Copies of this chain bind each other. A is one copy, B any other.
């Protein structure tokens, strides 16, 4: 029996919502083509042959095909130099047929990630990692939002979760999830206006914060860290964690655990994301949305 059984009515299902949103994007692309416009075009650079990265990139490429986007996959060997990578980035920056592109992370150790991120033209930075996009987001200006926070914001929006005036507690202050999430939810925007507390490894009484959260976003990478006795009745729970745990009873040999103990927390929550099938599928939709915006020059001219 699925672990979500019995809680179907309170699921924030990224699986279902992402499917719906992909269909919506496809309709918009069909309309563009009908209007004689170009297909949105996403490019991805993959350095090396890390299995997980390859899976992620291939998935993104497949999603592009599903919604009618053009896609280009640029593969570089693991031993490619930083200069070579920067040159390919510069080519994509200048290529007018490419609306947006990403460099799949992580990169080999000899390459400076910050330098790479900043080499991408911010107008094509559909991952939303460039300082210009993070800065504009922080200042409340239109920007490409980083995929995971953007996915979460869309999920809260589509499921009509009221955020204004709510106590929101974010666990984890990473650059790609926790920190931008805390910033976004505190801004004056449709999904925003929360009173946000950002907790991290130095937080002294994290349980006291968890207990007073109306909306709890957990991005720690600590399997089942949040237990049932820690949360308030009616809390909305967004679980960003996804950790592989060995499980010989599974055909794959492992199972996926979130940062939230689903069985204990779901009974008290008003809404909750499952893992898998929650936040994960939304991040790819964010990338597609950003690429669509890029093709329509919605954010930058």
Please report whether the interface of chain A is mostly helix, strand, loop or mixed according to DSSP: mixed
Q: Shortest Cβ distance from A286 into chain B, in angstroms?
A: 18
Question: Which of B173, B175, B193, B197 sits near A197, CB closer than 8 Å?
Answer: B197
- Determine if A203 and B132 form an interchain contact, defined as CB atoms under 8 angstroms apart: no
Q: Chain A, 170-186, contact with B by CB distance < 8 Å: what is the 0/1 string? A: 00010100011011001
A202 within 8 A of partner (CB):
yes
Copies of the protein in its oligomer:
2
List of B residues within 8 angstroms of A199 by Cβ: 195
Report how many residues on chain A are interfacial, defined by Cβ distance under 8 Å. 36
- Determine if A114 and B134 form an interchain contact, defined as CB atoms under 8 angstroms apart: no
Q: Shortest Cβ distance from A212 into chain B, in angstroms?
A: 9
Mark out the residues of chain A between 162 and 220 whose CB falls within 8 Å of any chain B CB in the assembled complex.
164-165, 167, 173, 175, 179-180, 182-183, 186-188, 193-200, 202-204, 209
CA distance A136 to B136 in the complex (A): 11
A130 within 8 A of partner (CB):
yes
Q: Shortest Cβ distance from A208 into chain B, in angstroms?
A: 9
A106 within 8 A of partner (CB):
no
- Determine if B200 and A197 form an interchain contact, defined as CB atoms under 8 angstroms apart: no
Question: Which of B131, B179, B180, B186 sits near A132, CB closer than 8 Å?
Answer: B131
- Determine if A198 and B200 form an interchain contact, defined as CB atoms under 8 angstroms apart: no
